[in-house]
Structure 1
Amino acid sequence: MNDLKFWMDSLGWLGAICFLVSYYLLVTKKWKATSMEYHIANLLGAVFLVLNTLYDASFPSVFINGSWAAIAVLGMVVDRKR
């Protein structure tokens, strides 16, 4: 396995873990949907998965994860204004 593939796969796994951990912490009420930690975990997860899926040329996944990142940024902006 070449080094770039290893790192891209690792980013994909890290992104998936960010999504799962943030959702778990939300459901168990350790985080709120309006917390900056929740938004940052979702943004990082989405960015990592965008990089991974761009590398794999999986463009529907690039689209959904890019949209997820944009929504996370929007959530940060909206919640910061409150």
Structure 2
Amino acid sequence: MDYFTIMGWLGVLIFIVSYILLGLEVLSAKKSLYHWLNFIGALCLVVNAIGIKDHPTITVNSIWGLIALLTVIKIYTRKELRKTK
């Protein structure tokens, strides 16, 4: 297996495991870990898609990762605001 294939399978594994853990209520969508896993999974799939020149997959996973990263920022910002009150 080449590097791009390994990254693709790693991204798939991260997405599936994080979603299973969310469904089992081990993870919460209100906590940053779930969104970090989505960001890392999306990043892995973007690397894979770049390697095989799959532009639709690059696009969707870039957007998915950006949403996850913005959510992490929102969660941390809210935590900081609560600390200052």
What TM-score comes out, normalization by structure 2 length? 0.87
Aligned length: 78
Matched AA of 1:48: C
Kindly indicate whether residue 6 of structure 2 is the aligned counterpart of residue 10 of structure 1: yes
Unaligned runs of 5+ in 1: none
Matched AA of 2:23: V
Out of 30, 35, 53, the residue aligned to residue 39 of structure 1 is 35
Matched AA of 2:7: L
Which residue of the partner structure matches residue 81 of structure 2? none
Provide runs of 4+ in structure 1 moved above 2 Å: none
Out of 55, 63, 78, the residue aligned to residue 59 of structure 1 is 55
Kindly indicate whether residue 76 of structure 2 is the aligned counterpart of residue 80 of structure 1: yes
- When the two chains are superposed, the root-mean-square deviation of aligned CA atoms in Å is 1.0
Residues 12-51 of structure 1: CA deviation (Å, up to 9, x unaligned): 0000001001111111100000222111111110000000
Which residue of the partner structure matches residue 19 of structure 1? 15
Checking the alignment, whether the CA contact within 8 Å between 1:14 and 1:45 is kept in structure 2 is: yes
Following superposition, the deviation at residue 81 of structure 1 comes to 1.6
Checking the alignment, whether the CA contact within 8 Å between 1:11 and 1:48 is kept in structure 2 is: yes
Out of 41, 65, 71, the residue aligned to residue 69 of structure 1 is 65
Unaligned runs of 5+ in 2: 79-85
